């Protein structure tokens, strides 16, 4: 990440009294109000932005600091309370043995992914180890229980803390705690557990997220949003409002958008206004933005803003939107249907008629909030006739196109500089702060800054699509799947976002990774007056898997075949066609994943049965399994990545790779791939990421595409540079390239040729040699029945969940998840395990606790995500069935990891107590009600 004239200057707060305390061993005096939050003072007065703010309400723990040695949420501490105290922030940890040990352990264990929670985690762990040098795992979980992490699934954090504790207890000396420089030999980086290359800044607090850097003179931007799901509105005297409010510089509305007041991630369906015009279509939709001095903007009472609202009846769910004669949310979308998806193969009705066993089911899931720890933030400034926006994003080039259209300027006049991203999971593919920043900075000619509050983030940004799925499946008495009839409606909210992608992707995947000869999958994305639903790790496939994997369990039971065996019997192989008629060829590892679970499945089933037969109380155990497949990249659409590398005169290599690392590790993975393709040591590389002015387009970070697509482009660029160097040396293809300090030597048999880099001319990019390569996965369009090649590469996996149900309370405790994934080639096993464990945690939340209701619980206190105590041990089994297309055989893992967890848990729930909930999540009240209904012989769910 690069800054644009950005500063981390402390920002003086006028008008307060002097408060003296010590921070990281240094005496400080601040002049803020004694009531000001300590987190704010640390970040904005003292420039210690390592302390993160995820909620400002004591819910996330990201702001945890030590106050006289005790961990506290700095957002809940008034600065006046710390007078005379000692405060320790993440920036001070390296000066302590315990803190330094923890930082090192977090790096080596891969315990920091996006890094937004990492400072709070490190501080909480330091407090623990300071008072208990040899904690038990449960004590570690307790100690970090108040700090939320949305990426890691906590297991690597726990392992890192336990490891640091062992070392801290004196097993090793307390010498330098600098990160271990893991330096595999040239050409041997792929497959190594390399410490992530951007890890150090995540553990020492120097990483720059969206809210961490801004020009000192920046004005604040605040959106005025609809409090109603649907409302007409009229502005009062905006000019008078500005005039009467000192410190407010301007108000912007739809009429101030210089270009198109419309954007969207898929241009064909773009429909979302920067500012609503006349009518707000969902709660949280912006109608105006107020810009001014930070204090004045923050002090503003929204009730003072001159707007009158007329609340209108909303279309609040799928049924209302589809009802005959329902009002249209968008005039051009008949029946409130944004788009339909369809994949049809064979004769489903005939096959179901002939099947020995047929099962029907209906499942429903709700909105799910991404709940990344970093709310959206950034700043913008106008530089001549260009606009520059530095913000958190998963898709810099898509942002550039949309901002150019909004401002009515050429894309080349828009520079997007992605910051570190404190978790995205799909939602930061869509614009958030960027349009408001762009419009304000463009008009005012001054830098402007916008930081979403947690509530603002939750009410206005996209969610996982609620789904209502109906399906009917049939199999032979031998257990061979014959047919699946699947229909689903997805509540896509007020605007299109990724609704078309969900509608297209789900029909391709709803069979699961099995051979289903007769298949019909029909989907619809339906508009309602609710928050837009968009991309969330899996684009609808996790919802479909909940339905289809439970149906397959019911079919297996119906014909009396072991549930794992049923899946193995039906698993796709390299010869069987998928539901789109694609024959995958090499690299189909689903059978290997399922078989890897086999011995554990038998043991777990036996142990659960023993437990239940001996159980005298309310506890019952169950074991469930679910399979998964997921196509990497866009569905039947081009999605190229271009990577550029340059050989410098110093002999170092500049790697321009624009795959935004949102915590998953693409900065490291792509470099490992490129290094081995080139044959250079990893430490030779200088990484240049994301900035649209210096890095070619690597597409969006989504659809599990960066390892495959950008990784392949990096491999090709590396090989091309190697060939260019060999040519320069006049050497053959088999020659060896050696990278030495200050130069490159080519060895060709007995001959040795030193490339005199300092004497060679530089090209237009400023390099001795530049190599650029583009890769676009080979796919084909789908025909009217959805037949074709939607993806070049699929990832496969299977999870087994072992759970314990308290039948009196309705609570479900997951005891263990075993996760087998075919990743083709494990470029960096530590990072892959991190993706799997994080996916399991999100899948667990989806199965058991997470559901967002627009208008209710718009905070992290009421919206619950798994904390450390909720996550069981996760055993990852990595299967490497290489893809003939992926770089070094690699496939994606990001979304694959989340898909099978929820159905495996729900299948285990049925195994334990015999219930199937038709509405997910399986919250204690629903589980208890279903158990009671089952006991009474009633229908449930
Ligand atoms: S920011 Fe303080 S607890 Fe979330
Ligand atoms: S690494 Fe914990 S929130 Fe991202």
Structure tokens at 137: 């795992």
Q: pLDDT value at position 169?
A: 65
Ligand nearest to the CA of 121: 2
841 close to ligand 2 (CB < 6 Angstrom) = no
Rounded to an integer, the average pLDDT of 600-605 is: 98
Rounded to an integer, the average pLDDT of 895-911 is: 97
Average pLDDT, the chain: 95
Atom of ligand 2 nearest to the CA of 115: 1
pLDDT tier for residue 938 given thresholds of 50, 70 and 90: confident
What angle do helix axes 434-444 and 396-407 make, rounded to 10 degrees?
Answer: 50
Structure tokens at 411: 């894309």
Structure tokens at 440: 């304000």
pLDDT tier for residue 876 given thresholds of 50, 70 and 90: very high
Cα 72 to middle of ligand 1, angstroms: 10
Q: How far is CA 741 from the centre of its chain?
A: 38
pLDDT at 178 over 50: no
C-beta of residue 867 within 8 angstroms of C-beta of residue 148 = yes
pLDDT at 786 over 90: yes
Pocket test for ligand 1, best of 54, 72, 78 (most atoms within 8 A of CB): 54
pLDDT tier for residue 6 given thresholds of 50, 70 and 90: very low
DSSP 708: I
pLDDT tier for residue 939 given thresholds of 50, 70 and 90: low
Ligand nearest to the CA of 77: 1
Cα 411 to middle of ligand 2, angstroms: 32
Q: pLDDT value at position 16?
A: 55
Q: Between β-strands 811-822 and 248-252, what pairing exists: parallel, antiparallel or unpaired?
A: unpaired
pLDDT tier for residue 702 given thresholds of 50, 70 and 90: confident
C-beta of residue 713 within 8 angstroms of C-beta of residue 641 = yes
C-beta of residue 718 within 8 angstroms of C-beta of residue 675 = yes
pLDDT tier for residue 741 given thresholds of 50, 70 and 90: confident
What angle do helix axes 155-166 and 829-848 make, rounded to 10 degrees?
Answer: 130
Rounded to an integer, the average pLDDT of 563-579 is: 98
59 close to ligand 1 (CB < 6 Angstrom) = yes
Cα 62 to middle of ligand 2, angstroms: 10
* CA–CA distance, 572 with 274 (Å, rounded to integer): 45
pLDDT at 647 over 70: yes
pLDDT tier for residue 704 given thresholds of 50, 70 and 90: confident
662 close to ligand 2 (CB < 6 Angstrom) = no
CA dihedral 351, 355, 357, 358 (to 10 degrees): 20
Between 179 and 509, where is the model more confident? 509
* CA–CA distance, 90 with 23 (Å, rounded to integer): 11
424 close to ligand 2 (CB < 6 Angstrom) = no
Q: pLDDT value at position 366?
A: 98
Burial of 610 (0-12, 13-18, 19+ CB in 10 A): exposed
Cα 115 to middle of ligand 2, angstroms: 5
pLDDT at 174 over 90: no
pLDDT at 426 over 80: yes
Written as one string, the DSSP assignment of 269-281 is G--B-SS--SEE-
What angle do helix axes 541-559 and 829-848 make, rounded to 10 degrees?
Answer: 80
Q: pLDDT value at position 599?
A: 97
54 close to ligand 1 (CB < 6 Angstrom) = yes
pLDDT at 8 over 90: no
Which of 1-15, 55-69, 136-150 is predicted least confidently?
Answer: 1-15
Sign of the Cα torsion 76, 82, 86, 90 reads positive
Cα 863 to middle of ligand 1, angstroms: 14
* CA–CA distance, 88 with 68 (Å, rounded to integer): 8
151 close to ligand 2 (CB < 6 Angstrom) = yes
Q: Give the other-Cβ count within 10 Å of 8's Cβ.
A: 16
Cα 148 to middle of ligand 1, angstroms: 10
Per residue in 325-371, pLDDT (tens digit) is: 999 999 999 999 999 999 999 999 999 999 999 999 999 999 999 99
Alpha carbons within 13 angstroms on the beta-carbon side of residue 432 total 31
**Cis amide linkage into residue 721, ω under 30° from 0:** no
Per residue in 820-860, pLDDT (tens digit) is: 999 999 999 999 999 999 999 999 999 999 999 999 999 99
Place of tokens 């309705």: 810
pLDDT at 176 over 70: no
149 close to ligand 2 (CB < 6 Angstrom) = yes
Rounded to an integer, the average pLDDT of 404-432 is: 97
DSSP 465: P
* CA–CA distance, 4 with 379 (Å, rounded to integer): 10
DSSP 451: E
Residue 536, helix vs strand vs coil: coil
Beta strands in 6-62 (DSSP E): 19-23, 26-30
pLDDT at 205 over 60: yes
Cα 596 to middle of ligand 1, angstroms: 41
Q: pLDDT value at position 615?
A: 80
* CA–CA distance, 260 with 431 (Å, rounded to integer): 14
Cα 615 to middle of ligand 2, angstroms: 38
Per residue in 747-767, pLDDT (tens digit) is: 998 899 999 898 999 999 999
625 close to ligand 1 (CB < 6 Angstrom) = no
Cα 5 to middle of ligand 1, angstroms: 29
941 close to ligand 1 (CB < 6 Angstrom) = no
Cα distances (Å, whole numbers) of residue 696 to 40, 671, 693, 728, 772: 37, 15, 8, 25, 9
CA angle 395, 399, 400 (to 5 degrees): 120
* CA–CA distance, 269 with 338 (Å, rounded to integer): 8
> Which residues touch 156 (CB under 8 Å, ≥6 apart)?
109, 110, 111, 830, 833, 834, 837
Written as one string, the DSSP assignment of 247-270 is TEEEEE-GGG-SS-S-B-SSGGG-
φ, ψ of residue 135 in degrees (nearest 5)? -70, 155
pLDDT at 171 over 60: no
Atom of ligand 2 nearest to the CA of 423: 4
- Using a pLDDT cut of 70, give the percent of the chain over it: 96
* CA–CA distance, 303 with 589 (Å, rounded to integer): 58
Rounded to an integer, the average pLDDT of 134-152 is: 97
374 close to ligand 1 (CB < 6 Angstrom) = no
Rounded to an integer, the average pLDDT of 150-161 is: 98
- Using a pLDDT cut of 90, give the percent of the chain over it: 92
Rounded to an integer, the average pLDDT of 184-207 is: 95
Ligand nearest to the CA of 52: 1
Per residue in 522-531, pLDDT (tens digit) is: 999 999 999 9
Q: How far is CA 625 from the centre of its chain?
A: 24
Q: Give the other-Cβ count within 10 Å of 740's Cβ.
A: 9
Residue 96, helix vs strand vs coil: coil
Per residue in 487-524, pLDDT (tens digit) is: 999 999 999 999 999 999 999 999 999 999 999 999 99
Alpha carbons within 13 angstroms on the beta-carbon side of residue 387 total 32
Ligand nearest to the CA of 72: 1
Cα 25 to middle of ligand 1, angstroms: 23
> What are the respective helix, strand and coil percentages of the chain, to the nearest 5?
35, 25, 45
Q: pLDDT value at position 385?
A: 95
CA dihedral 577, 583, 587, 589 (to 10 degrees): 0
C-beta of residue 392 within 8 angstroms of C-beta of residue 503 = no
pLDDT tier for residue 168 given thresholds of 50, 70 and 90: low
773 close to ligand 2 (CB < 6 Angstrom) = no
Cα 831 to middle of ligand 2, angstroms: 13
């Amino acid at each position: 990440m690069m800054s644009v004239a950005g500063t981390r200057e402390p920002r003086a707060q006028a008008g307060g009294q002097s408060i003296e305390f010590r921070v990281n061993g240094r005496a400080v005096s601040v002049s803020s109000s004694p009531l000001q939050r300590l987190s704010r003072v640390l970040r904005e007065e003292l420039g210690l932005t390592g302390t993160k703010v995820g909620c400002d309400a004591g819910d996330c723990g990201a702001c945890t600091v030590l106050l006289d040695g005790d961990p506290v949420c700095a957002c809940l501490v008034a600065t006046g309370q710390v007078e005379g105290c000692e405060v320790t922030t993440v920036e001070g940890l390296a000066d302590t043995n315990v803190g330094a040990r923890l930082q090192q352990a977090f790096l080596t264990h891969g315990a920091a992914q996006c890094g937004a929670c990492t400072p709070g985690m490190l501080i909480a762990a330091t407090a623990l180890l300071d008072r208990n040098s040899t904690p038990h795992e449960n004590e570690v979980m307790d100690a970090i229980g108040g700090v939320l992490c949305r990426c890691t699934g906590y297991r690597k954090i726990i392992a890192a803390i336990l490891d640091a504790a062992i070392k801290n207890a004196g097993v090793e000396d307390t010498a330098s705690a600098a990160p271990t420089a893991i330096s595999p030999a040239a050409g041997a980086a792929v497959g190594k557990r390399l410490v992530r290359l951007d890890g150090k800044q995540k553990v020492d607090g120097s990483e720059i997220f969206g809210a961490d850097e801004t020009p000192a003179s920046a004005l604040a931007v605040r959106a005025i949003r609809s409090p109603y799901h649907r409302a007409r509105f009229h502005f009062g005297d905006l000019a008078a409002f500005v005039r009467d409010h000192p410190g407010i510089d301007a108000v912007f509305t739809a009429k101030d958008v210089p270009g198109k007041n419309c954007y969207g991630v898929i241009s064909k369906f773009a429909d979302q206004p920067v500012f609503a015009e006349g009518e707000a279509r969902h709660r949280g939709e912006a109608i105006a933005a107020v810009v001014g001095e930070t204090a004045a903007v923050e002090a503003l009472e929204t009730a003072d803003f001159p707007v009158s609202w007329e609340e209108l009846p909303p279309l609040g769910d799928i049924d209302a939107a589809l009802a005959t004669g329902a009002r249209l949310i968008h005039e051009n979308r008949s029946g409130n249907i944004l788009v339909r998806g369809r994949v049809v193969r064979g004769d489903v009705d005939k096959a179901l008629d002939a099947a020995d066993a047929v099962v029907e089911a209906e499942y429903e899931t709700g909105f799910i909030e991404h709940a990344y720890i970093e709310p959206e933030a950034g700043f913008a400034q106008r530089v001549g006739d260009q606009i520059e926006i530095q913000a958190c994003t998963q898709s810099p080039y898509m942002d550039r196109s949309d901002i150019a259209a909004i401002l009515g300027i050429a894309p080349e006049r828009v520079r997007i500089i992605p910051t570190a991203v404190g978790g995205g999971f799909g939602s930061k593919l869509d614009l958030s702060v960027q349009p408001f920043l762009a419009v304000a900075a463009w008009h005012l000619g001054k830098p402007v800054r916008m930081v979403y509050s947690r509530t603002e983030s939750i009410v206005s940004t996209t969610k996982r699509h609620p789904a209502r799925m109906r399906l009917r499946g049939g199999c032979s008495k031998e257990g061979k799947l014959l047919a699946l009839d699947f229909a689903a409606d997805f509540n896509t909210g007020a605007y299109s976002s990724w609704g078309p992608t969900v509608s297209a992707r789900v029909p391709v995947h709803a069979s699961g990774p099995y051979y289903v000869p007769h298949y019909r999958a029909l989907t619809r994305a339906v508009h309602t007056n609710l928050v837009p639903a968009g991309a969330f790790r899996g684009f609808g496939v996790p919802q479909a898997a909940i339905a289809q994997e439970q149906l397959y369990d019911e079919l297996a039971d119906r014909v009396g075949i072991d549930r794992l065996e049923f899946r193995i019997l039906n698993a796709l192989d390299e010869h069987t066609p998928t539901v789109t008629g694609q024959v995958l060829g090499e690299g189909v590892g689903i059978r290997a994943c399922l078989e890897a679970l086999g011995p554990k499945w038998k043991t777990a089933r036996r142990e659960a049965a023993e437990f239940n037969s001996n159980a005298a109380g309310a506890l019952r155990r169950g074991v469930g399994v679910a399979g998964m497949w997921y196509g990497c990249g866009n569905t039947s659409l081009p999605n190229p990545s271009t990577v550029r590398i340059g050989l410098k005169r110093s002999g170092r290599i500049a790697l321009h790779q624009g795959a935004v690392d949102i915590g998953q590790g693409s900065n490291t993975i792509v470099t490992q791939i490129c290094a081995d393709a080139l044959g250079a040591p990893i430490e030779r590389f200088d990484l240049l990421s994301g900035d649209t002015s210096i890095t070619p387009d690597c597409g969006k970070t989504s659809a599990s595409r960066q390892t495959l697509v950008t990784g392949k482009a990096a491999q090709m660029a590396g090989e091309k540079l190697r060939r260019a160097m060999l040519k320069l040396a006049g050497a053959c293809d088999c020659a060896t390239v050696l990278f030495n300090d200050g130069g490159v030597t080519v060895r060709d048999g007995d001959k040795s040729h030193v490339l005199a880099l300092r004497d060679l001319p530089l090209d237009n990019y400023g390099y001795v040699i530049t190599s650029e390569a583009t890769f676009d996965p080979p796919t084909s369009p789908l025909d009217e029945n959805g037949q074709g090649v939607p993806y070049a590469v699929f990832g496969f996996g299977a999870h087994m969940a072992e759970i314990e149900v308290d039948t009196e309370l309705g609570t479900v405790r997951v005891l263990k998840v075993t996760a087998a994934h075919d990743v083709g080639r494990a470029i960096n096993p530590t990072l892959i395990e991190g993706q799997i464990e994080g996916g399991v945690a999100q899948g667990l939340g989806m199965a058991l606790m997470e559901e967002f209701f627009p208008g209710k619980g718009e905070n992290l206190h009421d919206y619950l995500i798994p904390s450390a105590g909720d996550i069981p041990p996760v055993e990852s089994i990595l299967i490497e069935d290489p893809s003939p297309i992926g770089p070094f055989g690699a496939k994606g893992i990001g979304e694959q990891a989340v898909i099978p967890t929820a159905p495996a848990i729900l299948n285990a729930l049925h195994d334990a107590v015999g219930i199937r909930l038709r509405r997910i999540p399986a919250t204690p009240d629903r589980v208890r009600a279903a158990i009671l209904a089952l006991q009474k012989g009633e229908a449930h769910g």
